[in-house]
Amino acid sequence: MADAEEPEKKRRRIEDVTEKMAVDGGHRDGGCDWDGRWNHVRKFLERPGPFTHPDFEPSTESLQFLLETCKILVIGAGGLGCELLKNLALSGFRLIHVVDMDTIDVSNLNRQFLFRPKDVGRPKAEVAADFINSRIPGCKVVPHYKKIQDFDDSFYRQFHIIVCGLDSIIARRWMNGMLISLLSFEDGVLEPSSIIPLIDGGTEGFKGNARVILPGMTACIDCTLELYPPQINFPMCTIASMPRLPEHCIEYARILQWPKEKPCRDTSLDGDNPEHIQWVFERAQERAAEFNITGVTYRLTQGVVKRIIPAVASTNAVIAAACATEVFKIATSAYIPLNNYLVFNDVDGLYTYTFEAERKENCSACSQVPQDLQFPSSAKLQEVLEYLTENASLQMKSPAITTTLEGKNKTLYLQSVKSIEERTRPNLCKTLKELGLSDGQELAVADITTPQTVLFKLNFTT
């Protein structure tokens, strides 16, 4: 058994070891790539191989593109986000932006490895960016402590590829909708240069999925909305009178008994306070006994009260790796990308499966190519209405027309609800310009002849 080292000797030994670490290269200034730094990436891009894309030509340009030009947006700097940033930065991507609206919580530290205890309370995006920028010379991660909805299309347009590590379906749909709105069509044909690929990753416990979405070309988030499992939410009537699950008993204690019995002098239930959880746990056990329900445990109580979905670091690692690989493949065109949906499950053993998710014919988000409507800005709304009813290929009966102005709906004319018809009738005599419509304005039209709302795009001829 060795003697404890003298502190000085130990300090010098550690210094030696850390100084010689090749990965740092000894350079702290950006842009200085030491010899062999990107050899691992060059192996994929500068020589042919059995798995490369049929159109692939080895060259040094791909690496240059990654290092100097390719702009990636990472959404989320949490479980998946940290892994993604690490993977992308170590693969040569340097122009990375990261968006996250959250701050660091102590429960994140077991897997969101870009954060340390001293960072608790700070914005995730900023701490993640700082860590990567100082750890990987040359990498320039730009953080945004914001919600994705705080940015408009001019922000998103600048990126070549967008990768998501989000924790909500609503956010995914929003991102999906945003990228679809950036698509441009020439004579009804999609312009490929307006497509921004979206790589989406999601995890929950031991399960995860990664998918490649080419908006306008492949299945989008809304096309496969039914694949998402329903979110658990317990009905009040069941909780109040007919509990069947241990979770119902816990919710009964949390929602009904706590406020009534106020065991802690008017404080609200704190999921991080063990005494509170213990109280809820005991009440829940009593109720469970009353209804012969098994399964109420302290751990379950914590989970239900804090709405915890347990996160597993390895699942995040796997899914982020799959996503980062796809970003690399698409950015370099060196390999055939995932086509297009990968599922992963290591609850029991290891399982993974890839399939091609298909576009939904009447997808509310991506199946609509807005049809062009040509009118002078001085045309009256009445003329548009007449066009919709008289045009041979439309032949609508009594179309309802709405639009969005300044983020809010504006009902231009709606015939089939009497009270609304009366109030919007004056709009028929107003010109499109007077109504506040501009060139490129999107109009939503619904009619008895259309199964769904049809989108039109106004093109002003004058």
Partner 1 sequence: MLTLASKLKRDDGGKTGRASGASDSTHRISIRDRLLTKEVAELEAHLPSTCKASFPDEDKLHHFQLAVSPDEGYYQSGRFQFEIDVPEAYNMVPPKVRCLTRIWHPNITENGEICLSLLREHSIDGTGWAPTRTLKDVIWGLNSLFTDLLNFDDPLNIDAAEHHLRDKEDFRNKVQDYIKRSAR
What does the alpha-carbon distance between residue 154 and residue 213 come to, in Å, rounded to a whole number? Answer: 20
Among 42, 160, 360, 433, binds partner 1 (CB under 8 A): 160
DSSP state letter for 393: T
Among 99, 141, 293, 414, binds partner 1 (CB under 8 A): 414
Residue whose C-alpha is closest to residue 269's, from 287, 286, 251, 285: 251
Q: Is 154 a binder of partner 1 (CB under 8 A)?
A: yes
Our CB check for partner 1 shows the closer of 18 and 231 to be 231
Q: Is 191 a binder of partner 1 (CB under 8 A)?
A: yes
Put the strands of the sheet holding 442-446 in their side by side order: 371-375, 454-460, 442-446, 400-405, 408-413
Q: Is 194 a binder of partner 1 (CB under 8 A)?
A: yes
What does the alpha-carbon distance between residue 392 and residue 76 come to, in Å, rounded to a whole number? Answer: 48
What does the alpha-carbon distance between residue 377 and residue 437 come to, in Å, rounded to a whole number? Answer: 8
Distance of closest approach, residue 348 Cβ to partner 1, in angstroms: 24
Q: Which positions from 239 through 258 interact with partner 1, judged by CB under 8 A?
A: 240-242, 244
Helices (H) and strands (E) in the chain, counts: 15, 15
Distance of closest approach, residue 53 Cβ to partner 1, in angstroms: 6
Q: Which positions from 41 through 80 interact with partner 1, judged by CB under 8 A?
A: 53, 55, 61-62, 65, 69-70
Q: CB-based contacts of 214: which residues, under 8 Å, 6+ apart?
A: 195, 197, 198
Distance of closest approach, residue 232 Cβ to partner 1, in angstroms: 6
Q: Is 339 a binder of partner 1 (CB under 8 A)?
A: yes
Stretch that binds partner 1, among 30-38, 301-309, 374-382, 434-442 (CB under 8 A): 434-442
Size of the site for partner 1 (CB under 8 A): 91
Structure tokens belonging to residue 60: 């040094």
Among 78, 81, 197, 216, binds partner 1 (CB under 8 A): 197
Residue whose C-alpha is closest to residue 123's, from 147, 140, 90: 147
Q: Tell me whether residue 237 is one of the annotated catalytic residues.
A: yes
Stretch that binds partner 1, among 72-80, 116-124, 165-173, 275-283 (CB under 8 A): 165-173
- Letters for 223-242 (x = contact with partner 1 by CB under 8 A, - = none) are --xx---xxxx-xxxx-xxx
Q: Phi and psi (nearest 5°) for 143? A: -85, 155
CA distances from 393 to 222, 338, 390, 415, 453 (A): 28, 39, 9, 21, 16
Among candidate residues 220, 223, 237, 366, the one labeled active-site is: 237
Among 105, 130, 346, 442, binds partner 1 (CB under 8 A): 442
Stretch that binds partner 1, among 250-258, 287-295, 317-325, 331-339 (CB under 8 A): 331-339
Our CB check for partner 1 shows the closer of 114 and 249 to be 249
Q: Is 167 a binder of partner 1 (CB under 8 A)?
A: no
Our CB check for partner 1 shows the closer of 181 and 297 to be 181
Helix (H, G, I), strand (E, B) or coil at 21: coil
Our CB check for partner 1 shows the closer of 194 and 302 to be 194
Q: Is 178 a binder of partner 1 (CB under 8 A)?
A: yes
CB distance 213 to 221 below 8 Å: yes
> How many CB atoms sit inside 10 A of residue 130's CB?
15
Cα–chain center distance at 445: 29
Our CB check for partner 1 shows the closer of 128 and 239 to be 239
CB distance 310 to 303 below 8 Å: yes
Active centre residues (catalytic): 237
